[in-house]
Structure 1
Amino acid sequence: MANLFEQNRNYVLGDPELDLIGDRDKLAQWRHKKMGPAYYRLGRKVIYRGSDLNAWAQANRVDPSEESV
């Protein structure tokens, strides 16, 4: 799979690329519920690594041809 995010880049809340997976409120809900991609919390700043975002996206990939009916 092609990477949706740059592997070696760090993303912070407000980066427009994060809108691919959810808006700021959705990401906050996921963090509260211990869901969504892995992240770092440094003080009040939340940081997502591109490699973690790509791994999370790959784990949530749905292939309709492989789904049972």
Structure 2
Amino acid sequence: MATLFEQNRNYVLGDPELNIIGDRDKLAQWRHKAMGPAFYRLGRKIIYRGADLNEWAEANRFEPAKVRRD
């Protein structure tokens, strides 16, 4: 499994590491549409766990099909 994020770290909006998956607006759109990585809403604060981000990234991993050339 990919470890793009520190497993035991919590990330909050504004952390530059979150820009890997999307900017603040994109993350807000995903939350509104119930898409994207799991998150916690504590009052007005949004928190992403590193373990959840890595799990989401792995689930969205794309492996291009090998092209057969004759």
TM-score (normalised: structure 2): 0.90
Q: How many residues align?
A: 66
- Runs of 4 or more, structure 1, over 4 Å off, are none
What SS class does the counterpart of residue 65 from structure 1 fall into? coil
For residues 36 and 48 of structure 1, the distance between their equivalents in structure 2, rounded to whole angstroms, comes to 11
Percent identity for Structure 1 against Structure 2? 80
For residues 33-60 of structure 1, give each alpha carbon's deviation from its aligned partner in whole angstroms, at most 9, with x where no partner exists: 0000000000000000000000000000
Q: Unpaired segments of 5 or more residues in structure 2?
A: none
1:2 deviates by 3.6
TM-score (normalised: structure 1): 0.92
Instruction: Say which structure is richer in helix.
Output: 1
RMSD: 1.1
